[in-house]
Copies of this chain bind each other. A is one copy, B any other.
Amino acid sequence: MIEKEKNTEEKILEAAKKIFITKGFDGARMQEIANEAQINKALLHYYFRSKDKLFEAVFASVFSHFFPAILEAMQSEIPFAEKIKIFVDSYINMLTANPFLPAFIIGEINRNPETVLAMIKKNMGTKPDFLFKIIADEINMGRMRPIDPRHFMINMLSLCIFPFIARPIITGIFFENNHEASNGFMEERKNEIVSFIIKSISVRSV
C-alpha cells in the first residue's frame, strides 16, 4: 500500500486545517470537517474532545510553519545583504505555498491574543535577541544607517506579509482576478523588496 491510506487522525487534521483556514473558527462547522474527512461527526469528537481542542491542534500544527527554519541560515558568515535576500525569498516562498496562513493567524490573534502571543514567544526562543545583535553589529561597523532594530524587523515583515493579506484586493484591482499574473507579481516582489530594503538602510545620505 503506497502510503495512500492515511490513518483517521491525520485525515481529520488535514480536513480541519482546510476548513478552519478558509472559514475561521466561528465559521467552521464540525459537520463540514467530517464531510471533508469522509467520516462522521461523532468520530471527530472521539479523536478530539471538542471543537476547541481540534482547533488548538490545527493551529499548533499550522503555526509551526510561520517561522521558517531559514532564520538559522542568517547565522552564517555571509554579507548582511545576502541574509536579507535569503530571509525575504524564503518568507515569500513559504507564503506562496501557504497563501491563507497570514489571514488565519490574524484571525486567531484577534480571537485569542494571549494564547497566540504565548506560542510566538515559545517558538521564537532567543531568536529576536540574536537578530537584533546582527543588526546592531551592522550599524556599529558603519555598514548600515542607525535604525531601531524593532522598526527594521517590522518593516521587513510588513513588506513580505501584507501583500499576501491584501492579495484578493491586489489580484482583483491590478490583475482582474488573473491568478497567474498575480503569482508573477509576488515573485517579482522578492527582488523588489530586497532592493527597497537595501537602499533604505544604506549609510550614504540622500
Residues of B within 8 A of A169 (CB): 109, 113, 116-117, 120
**Contact between B151 and A188 (Cβ–Cβ < 8 Å)?**
yes
**Contact between A148 and B188 (Cβ–Cβ < 8 Å)?**
yes
CA of A9 to CA of B26 in the docked complex: distance in angstroms? 27
Name A100-144 residues within 8 Å CB distance of B: 100, 103, 106-107, 109-111, 113, 116-117, 120-121, 128
Give chain B nearest CB distance to A62 CB in angstroms: 15
**Contact between A196 and B204 (Cβ–Cβ < 8 Å)?**
no
SS class, residues of chain A in contact with chain B: helix
Number of copies: 2
Interface bin, chain A: 35 or more
CA of A185 to CA of B172 in the docked complex: distance in angstroms? 33
**Contact between B109 and A168 (Cβ–Cβ < 8 Å)?**
yes
Q: Does A2 contact B (CB under 8 A)?
A: no
Cβ contacts A148-166/B at 8 Å (1 or 0 each): 1011001101110111011
Instruction: Beyond the given A109-B166, A109-B168, A148-B192, please list 20 additional residue pairs across the A-B interface where CB-CB is below 8 A.
Output: A106-B166, A113-B172, A120-B169, A120-B173, A128-B173, A145-B199, A150-B185, A151-B192, A154-B166, A155-B192, A155-B196, A157-B162, A158-B158, A158-B159, A158-B161, A159-B159, A196-B200, A198-B206, A199-B206, A200-B200
